[in-house]
Amino acid sequence: MNHATPPDDDDDALPDWARQRDALRQLHREVLDEPVPLALLAAAERAEGRRADQTRWMRWGGMAAGLLMAFAAGWLASGQWSPGAHGRAMARGPLGPEFVHAAAVAHAVYAPEKRHPVEVAAAEQQHLVQWLSRRLDRPLKVPDLSAEGYTLVGGRLLPGDQGARAQFMFEDGAGQRITLYLGALNGGAAVVQSGGSAFSFSAEGPVPSFYWVEGGFGYALAGKLPRESLLRLATVVYRQL
């Protein structure tokens, strides 16, 4: 029996393939030696630039998404109250700490006054509302807090960092006073969504306050009251305004 190894056809074909390769190179030698056309180089550069732009935008897009998620998480954790029965929310307006602090200071300055707590007394409520509405360039309304045990003392005009401010003062039977401070913000840049507003609480300054923004106006209800009592009053004020 013949056990000889058959010849390897692939080994015999290698020299033929090498000769064909060399023949093809000789046939197109002038093309291989030519420089790369400028048009082809430009197209390659454009393709590389597009790939770089895509990579850069993907990187920045990821960073922007991360920042947006962090902002949303911080907003949700900021602890806001909604006065609406269905949890209505408001697009937060530009109500800065200056506004809230000014409301607290105005309360601390005028609430203790015995003889001159207001410029215009409640006996002239119609004149008071017309005057302050004209100065703030917006129809104003005085909330009725009589069901909560508070009556209107009167009001006054105050200066603000972005224009005129109004203050309405209320007093209960025990002489406890609360004030509603209001005024336009940034030319009315705040926008309300879903018809509601979100309250925020501030303990900064002389007295605590609940504040909110609606329709380009900032509101702050301030007084030396427990937080729950002040929130209840702020909710009543908001619903009437």
The pLDDT value recorded for residue 19 is: 77
The pLDDT value recorded for residue 43 is: 61
Q: Which residue has the higher pLDDT, 187 or 237?
A: 237
- Alpha-carbon gap, residue 96 to 183, rounded angstroms: 12
- Alpha-carbon gap, residue 167 to 180, rounded angstroms: 6
Nearest to 166 by CA among 207, 212, 119: 119
Q: In what order do the strands lie in the sheet with 217-223?
A: 120-121, 150-160, 163-172, 177-184, 217-223, 209-214, 200-202
Residue 102 has pLDDT above 80, yes or no: yes
Q: What is the mean pLDDT of the chain?
A: 76
- Alpha-carbon gap, residue 40 to 66, rounded angstroms: 39
**Cα angle: 128, vertex 158, 213; to 5 degrees:** 90
Of 21-30, 108-117, 198-207, which range is least confident? 21-30
- Domain range list for the chain: 1-77, 97-240
Q: Which residue has the higher pLDDT, 115 or 1?
A: 115
Q: Give SS3 for 168.
A: strand
Q: Which residue has the higher pLDDT, 161 or 159?
A: 159
Q: Which amino acid is residue 213, in one-letter code?
A: V
Nearest to 156 by CA among 201, 124, 184: 124
Residue 91 has pLDDT above 50, yes or no: no
Phi, psi of 69 (to 5 degrees): -65, -40
In 35-138 the beta strands, taken as DSSP E runs, fall at 120-121
**Model pTM?**
0.60
The pLDDT value recorded for residue 59 is: 56
Residue 15 has pLDDT above 70, yes or no: yes
Q: Which residue has the tokens 């305004």?
A: 241
**What mean pLDDT is predicted for residues 137-148?**
96
Q: Find the helix or strand (DSSP H, E) in which 201 lies.
A: strand 200-202
Instruction: Mark out the alpha helices in 77-212 (DSSP H runs).
Output: 97-110, 125-136
The pLDDT value recorded for residue 2 is: 52
Contact in structure between 181 and 69 (CB atoms under 8 Å): no
Percentage of the chain with pLDDT > 90?
48
Q: Distances in Å between the alpha carbon of 151 and those of 88, 114, 115, 124, 181?
A: 29, 16, 17, 14, 16
CB-count burial class (<10 Å; 0-12, 13-18, 19+) for 99: buried
129 contacts: CB under 8 Å, gap ≥ 6: 140, 141, 142
Q: Which residue has the higher pLDDT, 61 or 52?
A: 52
Nearest to 216 by CA among 184, 180, 182: 184
Query: Under CATH, which architecture does the 97-240 domain have?
Result: 2-Layer Sandwich (3.30)
